[in-house]
Amino acid sequence: MKTKIKELRARHNMTQESLAKKANVRRETIVFLEKGKYNPSLKLAHEVAKALKTTIDELFIF
């Protein structure tokens, strides 16, 4: 699955660490999401989208 996490994170001047803290996950989880190596649960997708002030549909390309 492709994502726009890295792009949106850069727009908000956020590090992987700061996004991870806002989404209540480890930084490694954000790394895997950005690389498309991890399919998030609906709850995690919602938390990441909320932290980046966007929607799940905008963030993840299915």
Q: What is the pLDDT at residue 1?
A: 81
Whether residue 52 contacts residue 8, with contact meaning beta carbons closer than 8 Å, is answered with yes
Please give the domain boundaries of the chain with CATH numbers for all domains. 2-61 (1.10.260.40)
CA distance 59 to 8: 8
* Model confidence at 47: pLDDT above 90: yes
CA distance 10 to 60: 16
Alpha helix ranges (H) inside the chain: 5-11, 16-23, 27-35, 42-51, 56-59
Q: What is the pLDDT at residue 61?
A: 87
CA distance 60 to 25: 18
Whether residue 58 contacts residue 49, with contact meaning beta carbons closer than 8 Å, is answered with yes
Q: What is the pLDDT at residue 43?
A: 96
